[in-house]
Amino acid sequence: MNTENRPFPQPASQEVDMKNIVGLHTVRATSDASTVQRRLENWLAEKNIQIFYVVDHAANATAHDLFQLPAWVTFFGNPAVGTPLMVENPLMSLDLPLKVLVHEDASGAAWLTYHDPAQQGAALGIKPDHPSLKKMETLLKTLAQAVTV
């Protein structure tokens, strides 16, 4: 792709206060987004947690002569944990497997964002103390702490 003479739009500034979006947990990383993504994939592999798919939005944009700052969505999980939720309410299938967004904002800061499993479950009538939701919450908090430092 030749981008020398092709002006790309400037990325939008980080205007949204991501920490105040209901149902999302966002953690600022101490390193760049690429490093956070690599740490995420390594951490999941070390914990024997299956990665189902990784979407590289920036690479997909580039393939179509578009620009996007670095952003990956990683789909991962354990069917033994998620399946009971989908059995209880098949609509949970829209939110599983778990997913985490790693992205970079216009200032170069890297962020990790994920949905709150208890809020997703509550929206579908699943009690927040469901054992699978508790496992997911613990996993996501631990993961976020581990890969953003």
Domain spans, the chain: 22-147
Q: Which CATH superfamily is domain 22-147 in?
A: TT1751-like domain (3.30.310.70)
Q: What is the pLDDT of residues 32-65, one digit of tens each?
A: 999 999 999 999 999 999 999 999 999 999 999 9
Q: In the chain, which residue ranges form alpha helices assigned H by DSSP? A: 33-46, 57-62, 79-88, 117-123, 131-147
User: Is pLDDT at 87 greater than 50 in this prediction?
Assistant: yes
Number of helices (H), then strands (E), in the chain = 5, 5
How far apart are the C-alpha atoms of 55 and 71, rounded to whole Å? 8
| 3-state SS, residue 136 | helix
Q: If pLDDT is split at 50, 70 and 90, which confidence band does 4 have?
A: very low
Q: What is the pLDDT of residues 105-135, one digit of tens each?
A: 999 999 999 999 999 999 999 999 999 999 9
